[in-house]
Amino acid sequence: MRVMVMVRANADTEAGVMPTTQELEAMGKFNEELVNAGIMLAGEGLHPSSRGARIRFDGNERSVVDGPFSESKELVAGFWLWQVRSLDEAIEWAKRCPNPTGAQSELEIRQVFDAEDFGEVMTPELREQEERLRAQSAARQA
Amino acid sequence: MRFLIIRKADEETEAGALPTPALFDAMMRYNGEMMDAGILVSGDGLRPSRDGARVSFRDGVPTVTDGPFTEAKELIAGFSIIDVPSKEDAIAWIRRWPVEDANGNARIEIRPLYEPGDFGEEFTAEWLAQEERLRARAGTPRG
């Protein structure tokens, strides 16, 4: 199964504080272990919310609110996608992560929906279309 | 510029409500348009937080808390990554988000991703090379 592992933001990540060389080294080593174990699918860091935006929908109306957003501990500062056998395996890997945002850090692990989870809503036609889109996307990234 | 597009959770996604066929059709059409425009990098939906967990670190010591988590509107229900020339282009695409989603009340957050050049001098040429090697190998099936 696939999981998304999110790094929670804090005051430093929201202020755009860059990691030290030592922190980059520790995270690089952890990422390498994830790749070697065949677990790593993707991983990215996010700029502070001051460089982002929110779009609210109300029927056909759309309103745009520019960042920053105030509730920093509910924001995301970065994420990985991992291929694991179970949630427990993901938790074990997460525990080994170097503190991603300083002494106090939090990771949230969430399971990703697979096509099978959608049952009959996912008709064979939709499934075919989904697979075609994913194949196109993978080909473009390669 | 690459952007993470975050579809915020709500009571329905946290309850594990599956999309209706109409929503599925609309999202697939929307994703297809982004794919045709050459901007869609990836995208997925997340199961409710009750199927997840949190790992908190205090001075290096991890503590695990199982889901569900209560603050539904701050959770994430799904995401995409798009590659567009500017933040304005990203917003223009998100304005077209299907109205079938959340009965036209979806909340979306867009966040630019760090690119290797953003890390400045801390990120030496050696690190860039290692980063590229890791990216090239990511997604290799486990043995």
Question: What CATH number did the domain enclosing B95 receive?
Answer: 3.30.70.1060
> Is the residue at B130 inside a domain?
no
* Pairwise CA distance, residues A64 & B5, whole Å: 14
Residue B90 lies in a domain: yes
Architecture of domain A2-111: 2-Layer Sandwich (3.30)
Determine the Cα–Cα distance for residues A111 and B111; give it in Å rounded to an integer.
21
Reported residue count of chain B is: 143
Interface with chain B: mutation pick from A30, A55, A93, A120, highest number of B CBs within 10 Å:
A55
* Touching A: B residues 73-112, CB under 8 Å: 74, 76, 79, 81, 87, 90-91, 94-95, 97, 99, 101-102, 104-112
Q: Is the residue at B143 inside a domain?
A: no
Tell me the shortest Cα–Cα distance from A82 to chain B, in angstroms: 9
Q: Is B40 within the bounds of a domain? A: yes
- Where do the structural domains in chain A lie, given as residue ranges? 2-111, 118-142
CB atoms within 10 A of CB A43: 21
pLDDT at B141: 61
Whether B131 is in a domain gets the answer no
d(CA A88, CA B37): 39
Q: Note whether B54 contacts A130, CB cutoff 8 Å.
A: no
Which of B27, B55, B134 to mutate to probe the A interface, most A CBs <10 Å?
Answer: B55
What is the SS3 assignment for B87-123? HHHHHHHHCCCCCCHHHHCCEEEEEEECCHHHHHHHC
Q: State whether A4 and B44 contact (CB < 8 Å).
A: yes
The distance of A122 to chain B (nearest Cα, Å) reads: 8
Q: How many helices (H) and strands (E) does chain B have?
A: 4, 6
Domain span holding position B62: 2-115
Q: Is residue B75 part of a domain?
A: yes
What pLDDT, on a 0 to 100 scale, did the predictor assign at position B46? 96
In a domain, residue B29? The reply is yes
The pair of three-digit structure tokens given for residue A3, joined into one six-digit string: 């999981």
Tell me, yes or no, whether B133 lies in a domain. Answer: no
Condensed to tens digits (0 to 9), the pLDDT of residues A6-60 reads: 999 999 999 999 888 888 889 999 999 999 999 999 999 999 999 999 999 988 8
Q: Is the dihedral of CA A75, A79, A81, A87 positive or negative?
A: negative
Residue B55 CA to residue A94 CA, distance in Å, equals: 7
Instruction: Tell me what pLDDT residue A79 has.
Output: 97
Instruction: Look at chain B and report how many structural domains it folds into.
Output: 1
Q: Average pLDDT by consecutive 10-residue portion of chain B (143 residues)? A: 96 92 91 94 95 93 94 90 96 95 93 85 76 84 55
In terms of residues, how long is chain A?
142
Beta-carbon separation of B47 and A113 below 8 A: yes
Q: pTM to 2 decimals?
A: 0.91
**For residue A116, what pLDDT band results from cuts at 50, 70 and 90?**
confident
- pLDDT for B142: 59
